[in-house]
Amino acid sequence: MATAVMTTLDPNSRSATRGMSDLTIRNLFIIPTIVFLIVFNIFPLLYSLGYSFTDFRASSPAAANFVGLQNYRELLNDPFIWSNFAITAKYVIVSVVGQVIVGFGVALLLNRDIPLKGLLTTLLLLPMMLSMAVVGLFWKLLYDPSWGVINYALGLGNFEWLSNPDMALYAVAITDIWMWSPFVMLLSLAGLSAVPKHLYEAAAIDRAGSFYTFFRITLPLVAPILMIAIIFRTMEAFKTFDLAYILTSQPTTEVISIRLYKMAFQEWQTGRSCALAYIVLIMVLAITNIYVKYLNKVKER
């Protein structure tokens, strides 16, 4: 495969006349990327693993002392950290489920011949093109109990979306659903348009009901691509920081990345925050692995 790609170098091209071999060109493209990855990703990753076993504080000139597993032990015994994880889990479930329902639903609606379909799809994609910080700032205004549009439109009076500790996390999730449902919609739409039409025709001939058609034809065929959307969204939701940080400061919305930020850059507990970052990384990897296994199973069907 690789050689097939490489032999396509046109003998009359400038590179070829300059005497560059295929190998040189390949290296020219690949080496900078690998160097970049090593310098900015792999090296810090390993370096911070080292720090996670020390009491290092970036704010202090004192040398780091090796403390073994103490950081991990204390973090996993800290009830506040566990409550941060519970909040994150709740947030991930609410926001990803919401995005799948809304995104897939809209995709089903759009998956037919309607006028201005292209324009409509583009407009629906707008939210996800905005920056998280901007979305956070203007949803904060929309949710405002005194002058926000949402309460006015829904006739909710002074309902406190962001100050109510029980509601705040849902308010953040609603904003996230608004922003990222279009992403799920886009992928689902791609999946839906790839379902062969003759399957539906066959189902119609067999007089299959619409529920049966949906659960036995549409969903199984779209499932692999939908799973990819879910993997992306779960990973992103797990890492959510900006939206929750900007919208509210309720302890009930303190997702794990906000705790991590405070630990690393307000308290300057560098060693311990590296340990927490590793715990989060392991969790994200584990969850992603489960998904990928499931995705492969779905594909095999």
Partner 1 sequence: MRKLVTSALAGIGLTLACGTSVYAQDKELTIFWAEWDPANYLQELVNLYEAETGVKVTVETTPWSDFQTKAFTEFNAKGSAYDMVVGDSQWIGAASEAGHYVDLTDFFNKHNLKEVMAPATVKYYAEYPSASGKYWSIPAEGDAVGWSYRKDWFEDPKEMEAFKAKYGYDLGVPKDFKALRDIAEFFHRPDQKRYGVAIYTDNSYDALVMGVENAIFSYGGELGDYATYKVDGIINSDQNVKALEVYKELYSFTPPGWAKSFFIEDNQAITENLAAMSMNYFAFFPALINEASNPNAKNTGFFANPAGPNGDQFAALGGQGISVISYSNNKEEAMKFLEWFIKDETQKKWAELGGYTASAKVLESPEFQNATPYNKAFYETMFKVKDFWATPEYAELLIAMNQRVYPYITGNQGTAKEVLDSLAADWNATFKKYNRVK
**Residue 142: which residues within 8 A CB-CB, separation 6 or more?**
148, 149, 150
Could you tell me which residues are beta bridge partners of residue 66?
54
Q: Is 54 helix (H, G, I), strand (E, B) or coil?
A: strand
Q: Kindly state whether residue 15 participates in binding partner 1, applying the rule CB under 8 A.
A: no
* Shortest reach from residue 176's CB to partner 1, in Å: 19
46-54, 59-67, 215-223, 288-296 -> range binding partner 1 (CB under 8 A): 59-67
Whether 237 contacts 298, CB under 8 Å: no
- Binds partner 1 (CB under 8 A): choice among 77, 131, 210, 266: 266
Question: 194 phi and psi, to 5 degrees?
Answer: -90, -10
Q: How many CB atoms lie within 10 A of CB 168?
A: 22
Q: Kindly state whether residue 146 participates in binding partner 1, applying the rule CB under 8 A.
A: yes
Q: Kindly state whether residue 7 participates in binding partner 1, applying the rule CB under 8 A.
A: no
Between 193 and 249, whose beta carbon lies closer to partner 1?
Answer: 249
* Shortest reach from residue 206's CB to partner 1, in Å: 56
- Binds partner 1 (CB under 8 A): choice among 60, 65, 122, 289: 60
Q: Kindly state whether residue 262 participates in binding partner 1, applying the rule CB under 8 A.
A: yes
Whether 260 contacts 276, CB under 8 Å: yes
* Shortest reach from residue 61's CB to partner 1, in Å: 6
CA-CA distances (angstroms) from residue 273 to 3, 108, 120, 251? 45, 43, 44, 19
- Binding footprint of partner 1, residue count (CB under 8 A): 25
The tokens describing 13, both together, are 């091209």
Whether 161 contacts 145, CB under 8 Å: yes
* Shortest reach from residue 147's CB to partner 1, in Å: 9
Q: Kindly state whether residue 268 participates in binding partner 1, applying the rule CB under 8 A.
A: yes
Q: Is 66 helix (H, G, I), strand (E, B) or coil?
A: strand
Q: Is 1 helix (H, G, I), strand (E, B) or coil?
A: coil
20-28, 115-123, 242-250, 275-283 -> range binding partner 1 (CB under 8 A): 242-250
* Shortest reach from residue 145's CB to partner 1, in Å: 4
**Residue 117: which residues within 8 A CB-CB, separation 6 or more?**
110
The tokens describing 162, both together, are 């962001």
- Binds partner 1 (CB under 8 A): choice among 47, 212, 265, 297: 265
Whether 298 contacts 291, CB under 8 Å: no
Between 249 and 289, whose beta carbon lies closer to partner 1?
Answer: 249
The tokens describing 133, both together, are 């910080």
Q: Kindly state whether residue 133 participates in binding partner 1, applying the rule CB under 8 A.
A: no
5-13, 22-30, 157-165, 283-291 -> range binding partner 1 (CB under 8 A): 157-165
Between 231 and 263, whose beta carbon lies closer to partner 1?
Answer: 263
Residues forming the site for partner 1 (CB under 8 A):
58-61, 80, 144-146, 158, 160-163, 165, 248-252, 262, 265-269
